[in-house]
Amino acid sequence: FKQKTAYEIRLSLVGSEMCIRDRSSNAFEVFIWTYFMTYIVNDSCIACKYTDCVEVCPVDCFYEGENMLVIHPDECIDCGVCEPECPADAIRPDTEPDMEKWVEFNRKYSEVWPVIITKKDPLPDAEEREGETGKLEKYFSENPGEGG
Ligand code: SF4
Ligand code: F3S
């Protein structure tokens, strides 16, 4: 079962569950269950924007707003490499409860903000704002970042 084929199927079936029967071998029938998921950035990123995450992403799917980043859910290949890189613990898998809102939030802004692949300095109040609650209501900006 070629990786390229799996990737192409993934692109067309993001968010769904499916079963693939591979009959390419006479000796075996291979059943593969795959749940397509993504990682997302939540409001813990807001007003911090450490950007450690962008350097490890193999598919460059982080997008930059004025004071947070988002992940494009259709581009993320679910490798999980970015999750432990975030000092603010803002990157979560969408398998956790009540993540639909954050998947759509990430999708919405990743389609209008520029891609970011290079780490830059965190926002000036990053350490002070880390762990604060209610950041979406208090600080979120829809404005794009500079990207880069
Ligand atoms: Fe990129 Fe992997 Fe993180 Fe998805 S899980 S955003 S592909 S590093
Ligand atoms: Fe935001 Fe964490 Fe990346 S704070 S910019 S998700 S490293």
pTM: 0.80
Q: Which of 42, 60, 81, 115 to mutate to test the pocket of ligand 1 (most atoms within 8 A of CB)?
A: 81
Ligand with an atom nearest the CA of residue 46: 2
Residue 16 CA: distances (Å) to CA of 36, 80, 96, 111: 6, 19, 16, 21
The tokens of 138 are what? 């208090």
DSSP-derived 3-state class of residue 84: helix
Cα separation, 28 vs 6, whole angstroms: 18
Per-residue pLDDT of the chain (148 residues; tens, 9 = 90+): 334 344 444 444 444 444 444 445 444 433 333 457 899 999 999 999 999 999 999 999 999 999 999 999 999 999 999 999 999 999 999 999 989 999 999 999 999 999 999 999 999 999 999 999 999 999 999 999 999 9
